[in-house]
Structure 1
Amino acid sequence: MKILLAVDGSEYTARMLDYLTAHKEWSNAGHAFTVFNAVLPVPHRAAAFAGPDLVHTYYDDEARVVLEPVRAALALHGIEAAFAHKVGHPADEIANFAERGKFDLVIMGSRGHGALTNLVLGSVAMKVLARCTVPVLLVR
């Protein structure tokens, strides 16, 4: 199975990784994992002021801060994965990456707000569920 692990570096990512590594049917079944992080774009005026090189470096650094601990956690459990990041709104980028990559499943952590909070604030997980045609497993 081709599985996309959507991560943001939060405690919810850590919970998702704990779930994944605790269930050997996920980690030892020959699945192909890709770890993905979406970096929010720098506002246009700030990007114009900073210049493209600095902005590109910022995006790479932000992704590295999120992806490196995940890389270490997976390696500790013997799980090999590819790593990728894109710049954009997380929900859109996760859904687009999952669909373009023809993934069989997206696994991501979720805060688990109630329905009223999601209605008012929204959440990346809820937006991925609404937008993505690939099945999504949310870990709380």
Structure 2
Amino acid sequence: MPAPSRILVPVDLSDGSQALIDYAIQLARPFNAALEIIHAWEPPQYVAPDLLVAAPGWNSQSLEQVAVDAATKALNELAAKIQSPPVPLKHRVVVGEATSTILRVAEEGKHDLIIMGTHGRRGLPRLLLGSVAQKIVARAHCPVLTLHLYEAAK
């Protein structure tokens, strides 16, 4: 198996995301692999994403635009913490259901490794929420490295 040259790092913007990014950079460095960090924002199923959000003195924006702007700001803050990245690095927010969006980005970007976090939910929460990481591992066209985010954040 060849060394990775393009690594996709999906993040959920939780507390463990910075540790996940730091780990991916350390793994990419010896191979000079390019990193792409993405956050997949999933529109809510119970509210139309084009619903307008407004407050006094504020221009009306769609719910999707407000959410994507907030996610972009949070992702930019994560990326700003990386001082002089030792590998090529880019980041962006994509809109869509997490699993299918991550798989699509990985295939379109010809990524040869996905590094992502898992929360380690068990029982009813896992049954109700599903596991994005589990679905990615099962369906990805390339190897997937999962890290338990609570362990990585320590």
Q: TM-score range by the shorter chain?
A: 0.7 to 0.9
Q: Displacement, 1:122?
A: 1.5
1:15-94 alignment to 2 at 5 Å?
15-21=19-25, 24-43=26-45, 45-50=47-52, 54-75=62-83, 77-94=85-102
Give the gaps of 5 or more residues in structure 2.
54-59, 149-154
Q: CA RMSD in A?
A: 2.8
Q: Displacement, 1:28?
A: 4.7
TM-score by length of 2: 0.72
Name the larger-Rg structure. Answer: 2
Which amino acid letter does the alignment assign opposite residue 146 of structure 2? L
2:117 to 109, 116, 127: 109
Helix, strand or coil at the partner of 1:11:
coil
Q: CA deviation digits over 1:56-78, x for unaligned, max 9? A: 53243133133112211333554
Tell me the percent identity: 30
Distance 2:126 2:44 in 1: 25
Work out the number of aligned pairs and report it: 138
Which amino acid letter does the alignment assign opposite residue 141 of structure 2? T
Structure 1 counterpart of 2:140: 132
Give the gaps of 5 or more residues in structure 1.
none
Q: Displacement, 1:123?
A: 1.4
Distance 2:38 2:50 in 1: 27
Structure 1 counterpart of 2:108: 100
Helix, strand or coil at the partner of 1:8:
coil
Structure 2 counterpart of 1:5: 9
**Bigger helix share:** 1
Q: Displacement, 1:27?
A: 2.7
Task: Provide closer, same or farther for how the CA distance between residues 77 and 53 of structure 1 changes in structure 2, counting only shifts above 3 A.
Answer: same
Helix, strand or coil at the partner of 2:94:
strand
Which amino acid letter does the alignment assign opposite residue 104 of structure 1? D
Helix, strand or coil at the partner of 2:104:
helix
